[in-house]
Structure 1
Amino acid sequence: MEQSVILKMNDIGKDFSGVKALDGVSIEVMRGQVHAICGENGAGKSTLMKVLSGVYPAGSFDGSIEFEGKTVSYRNINDSEADGIVIIHQELALSPYLSIAENIFLGNEIAKRGIIDWNKTNREAALLLARVGLAENPATKILELGVGKQQLVEIAKALSKQVKLLILDEPTAALNDEDSAHLLSLIDHLREQGITCIIISHKLKEIKRIANTVTVIRDGKTIETIDMAGEDATEARIIRSMVGRDLNNLFPPRDPKIGEEVLRVENWTVYHPVDTTRKVVDDASFSVKAGEIVGFAGLMGAGRTELAMSLFGRSYGTNISGKVFKNGTEIQMRSVDEAIKNGFAYATEDRKKYGLNLIGDITVNISAAALAKLAKNGVIDKHREYKVADSYRQKMNIKAPSVAAITGKLSGGNQQKVVLSKWIFTGPDVLILDEPTRGIDVGAKYEIYGIINELAAQGKAVVVISSELPELLGLSDRIYAISEGRLTGEVAREDATQEQLMHYMTAGKD
Structure 2
Amino acid sequence: MTAAGRDTSAPAVDAAAPVLEMRGITKTFPGVKALSGVDLIVGAGEIHAVCGENGAGKSTLMKVLSGVHPHGSYEGEIRFDGESVAFRDIAESERRGIVIIHQELALVPELSVAENIFLGNEQASRGIISWGATLRDAARLMRRVGLPDSPGTRVAELGVGRQQLVEIAKALSKEVKLLILDEPTAALNDEDSRNLLQLILDLRDQGIACIVISHKLEEIRRIADSVTILRDGRSVETLRVRETPDAEPELSEDRIIRGMVGRDLSSRFPERREYQGPDAGEVAFEVSGWTVRHPVEPRKVVDDVSLTVRRGEIVGIAGLMGAGRTELAMNVFGRSYGVYEGGTVAVNGTPVRTRTVPEAIGHGIAYVTEDRKTFGLNLIDTVHRNISLTSLPSMTRGVAVDEHKEQQVAERYRKSMNIKTPTVFEPVERLSGGNQQKVVLSRWIHAGPEVLILDEPTRGIDVGSKFEIYTVIEELAAQGKAVLFISSELPELLGMCDRIYTMAAGRLTGEVDRDEATQEVLMRYMTATDTEPKVLT
User: What's the TM-score bracket when you normalise by the shorter of the two chains?
Assistant: 0.5 to 0.7
The 1:150–1:368 alpha-carbon spacing in structure 2 relative to 1, beyond 3 Å, is closer
Residue 239 in 1 paired to residue 243 in 2? no
Contact 2:21 2:40 in 1 (8 A): yes
Aligned counterparts of 1:351 and 1:288: Cα–Cα separation in 2: 30
Contact 1:146 1:275 in 2 (8 A): no
Aligned counterparts of 1:321 and 1:168: Cα–Cα separation in 2: 42
Q: Within 5 Å, give how 1:267-416 maps onto structure 2.
A: 289=311, 312-315=333-336, 326-328=347-349, 333=354, 335-346=356-367, 387-390=397-400, 392-393=402-403, 395-397=405-407, 413=424
Aligned counterparts of 2:396 and 2:55: Cα–Cα separation in 1: 38
Q: Which piece of structure 1 moves more, 314-323 or 166-175?
A: 314-323
Q: Which piece of structure 1 moves more, 104-113 or 225-234?
A: 225-234
* Secondary structure in 2 matching 1:237: helix
- Per the alignment, residue 477 of structure 1 pairs with 475
Shift of 1:115: 1.4
Contact 1:265 1:322 in 2 (8 A): no
Amino acid at match of 2:256: I
* Secondary structure in 2 matching 1:413: coil
TM-score, normalization: structure 1? 0.66
* Secondary structure in 2 matching 1:129: helix
Q: Within 5 Å, give how 1:26-65 maps onto structure 2.
A: 26-65=39-78
- 1:91 aligned to 78, 81, 104, which one? 104
* Secondary structure in 2 matching 1:489: helix
The 1:33–1:322 alpha-carbon spacing in structure 2 relative to 1, beyond 3 Å, is farther
- Per the alignment, residue 497 of structure 1 pairs with none
- Per the alignment, residue 489 of structure 1 pairs with 495
* Secondary structure in 1 matching 2:21: strand
Amino acid at match of 1:237: R
* Secondary structure in 1 matching 2:37: strand
For residues 83-105 of structure 1, the C-alpha deviation after alignment (integer angstroms, 9 at most, x for no partner) is 10000111111111211111111
Aligned counterparts of 2:17 and 2:352: Cα–Cα separation in 1: 62
For residues 22-74 of structure 1, the C-alpha deviation after alignment (integer angstroms, 9 at most, x for no partner) is 22221111111111112222221111111100011111112111111111111
- Per the alignment, residue 225 of structure 1 pairs with 238
Amino acid at match of 1:327: N
* Secondary structure in 2 matching 1:134: coil
Shift of 1:347: 7.5
The 1:175–1:59 alpha-carbon spacing in structure 2 relative to 1, beyond 3 Å, is same
Identity %: 48
Contact 1:367 1:385 in 2 (8 A): no
- Per the alignment, residue 150 of structure 1 pairs with 163
* Secondary structure in 2 matching 1:25: strand
Amino acid at match of 2:182: D
* Secondary structure in 1 matching 2:496: strand
**Ranges in structure 2 where 5+ consecutive residues have no aligned partner:** 1-13, 244-248, 266-279, 410-421, 428-434, 478-482, 499-517, 525-537
The 1:67–1:143 alpha-carbon spacing in structure 2 relative to 1, beyond 3 Å, is same
The 1:484–1:140 alpha-carbon spacing in structure 2 relative to 1, beyond 3 Å, is same
- 1:165 aligned to 178, 202, 219, which one? 178
- 1:129 aligned to 142, 148, 156, which one? 142
Aligned counterparts of 1:228 and 1:169: Cα–Cα separation in 2: 19
* Secondary structure in 1 matching 2:106: coil
Aligned counterparts of 1:394 and 1:273: Cα–Cα separation in 2: 42
Contact 2:67 2:89 in 1 (8 A): yes
Aligned residues: 423
For residues 357-411 of structure 1, the C-alpha deviation after alignment (integer angstroms, 9 at most, x for no partner) is 999xx99x9899899xxxxxxxxxxxx9974455854544569xxxxxxxxxxx9
Contact 1:271 1:318 in 2 (8 A): yes
Contact 1:86 1:158 in 2 (8 A): yes
- Per the alignment, residue 124 of structure 2 pairs with 111
The 1:211–1:205 alpha-carbon spacing in structure 2 relative to 1, beyond 3 Å, is same
Contact 2:285 2:451 in 1 (8 A): no
* Secondary structure in 1 matching 2:439: coil
Contact 2:179 2:208 in 1 (8 A): yes
**RMSD of Structure 2 on Structure 1 (CA):** 5.2
TM-score, normalization: structure 2? 0.63
- Per the alignment, residue 437 of structure 1 pairs with 439
- 1:181 aligned to 173, 190, 194, which one? 194
Amino acid at match of 1:413: V
Q: Within 5 Å, give how 1:420-431 maps onto structure 2.
A: none
Amino acid at match of 2:122: E
Contact 1:288 1:461 in 2 (8 A): no
Shift of 1:322: 11
